[in-house]
Amino acid sequence: MFLSQLYLRDFRNYNQQHLKFDQNLNLIIGANAQGKTNILEAIYLLGTGNSHRTNIDSELINWNKDNFYVKGELIKNNQNYQLEVNYQGRTKEIKVNSNKLQRMSDLVGYLNIVIFSPEDLTLVKGSPSQRRRFINLEVSQVSSYYKHLLTEYRKILKQRNNLLKEIGENNTPQHMLQVWDQQLIDIGSKIIKRRLEAIDKLSILAKLMQRKITDGIETLLLKYDTKLQVNTNSSTQEIKEEFKKELKQKRKREIEHGVTKVGPHRDDISLIVNNINIRKFGSQGQQRTTALAIKLAELEFMKAEIGEYPILLLDDVFSELDDKRRFQLLKVIQNKVQTFITTTHLNQLQSFNNEYKSFKINKGSVIEG
């Protein structure tokens, strides 16, 4: 798949801009704070419906304007798609081939994206919520059913938490929890099962990437970290039984605190390098290598799931990687993944000999080269 064109109107610091991209490598060059990342943000928006930098849509509007519009032309599986995001009056409208989508989440899966930026080091050393967000987006892009499960689970979790608070504060009868317990177990177990399967595949790919980057010195293992006594071989029914058992054990504490303490919303991913927890004990260099290996594994995972490589967005990562890691990254993506790289200097790409298209950015103006 590849994004052939991008049109921006009043988006961030761009008044009106029409860009045509190379099918392989696109370099976005310029000094800091000129608008390089804004282009990647617009592409990410077309893939997910959200920004990767803010949860506030109004922040994406150009100064002194009241709306923004982003359109992209996508070629995927030899079919053409027109993706549009229009924000006006606190309302965000999303269209695919001129057809309005009823839910923003329905956009996910058209334009598949892997993004890597310096902030993605938090995937390794950040909070569990960041790793849950990573696996949720990864699986949602290749499975509309998983995306539906997440939406339903969040609704159930909110209702169950409200009831837990009522029981704790107003002595509401506990038997009313039974309905929400069953729904939480049914949907949550399916989410956990799908995550276990995905992380098992990602772990194999990440292990290969880590060994490539480190010349076989380091071995990376990804492990789904849950309170339930389950593994990849566990059936959905076995997961349900464990879930039910754990909920029963935590019932008193849940009522005391007014929150659900068991389920996929509390789980994490452990990252183990040479039998060491890299999040707690790894050096910064090892953490960077691990983050890179996971991102490269994402590419191969999506290729295996949907039959095509996703689009790769690399936001100023070359300043964070040494020559060896840059070389390995470029070697993996060469001539097979449409890639967008933001950089301040072309000398960071001296080891890359392939053709590319360049876009020089200066205060929201673009010169194509």
Give the separation between CA 219 and CA 234, rounded to whole angstroms: 25
Q: What is the pLDDT of residue 49?
A: 94
Q: Are 222 and 132 in contact (CB under 8 A)?
A: no
Residues of the chain with CATH 1.20.1050.90: 120-306
List C-alpha distances in Å: 364 to 13, 16, 29, 89, 302: 5, 9, 12, 24, 33
Give the separation between CA 24 and CA 209, rounded to whole angstroms: 21
Residues of the chain with CATH 3.40.50.300: 1-112+308-369
For 193, the 3-state DSSP assignment is helix
Q: Are 127 and 165 in contact (CB under 8 A)?
A: no
Q: What is the pLDDT of residue 73?
A: 98
Architecture of domain 1-112+308-369: 3-Layer(aba) Sandwich (3.40)
What are the residues whose beta carbons fall under 8 Å from the beta carbon of 315, sequence distance 6 or more?
A: 36, 37, 40, 115, 116, 117, 118, 342
- Please list the pLDDT of the chain residue by residue as tens digits (369 residues): 999 999 999 999 999 999 999 999 999 999 998 999 999 999 999 999 999 999 999 999 999 899 999 999 999 999 999 999 999 988 999 999 999 999 888 999 999 999 988 778 788 989 999 999 999 999 999 999 999 999 999 999 999 999 999 999 988 888 889 999 999 999 999 999 999 999 999 999 999 999 988 889 999 999 999 999 999 999 999 999 999 999 999 999 999 999 999 999 999 999 999 999 998 898 888 888 899 899 999 999 999 999 999 999 999 887 777 787 788 788 888 888 999 999 987 776 655 566 789 999 998 889 987
What is the value of pTM for the model shown?
0.90
> Is the CATH number of domain 120-306 1.20.1050.90?
yes
The residue type found at 363 is K
Give the separation between CA 322 and CA 293, rounded to whole angstroms: 14
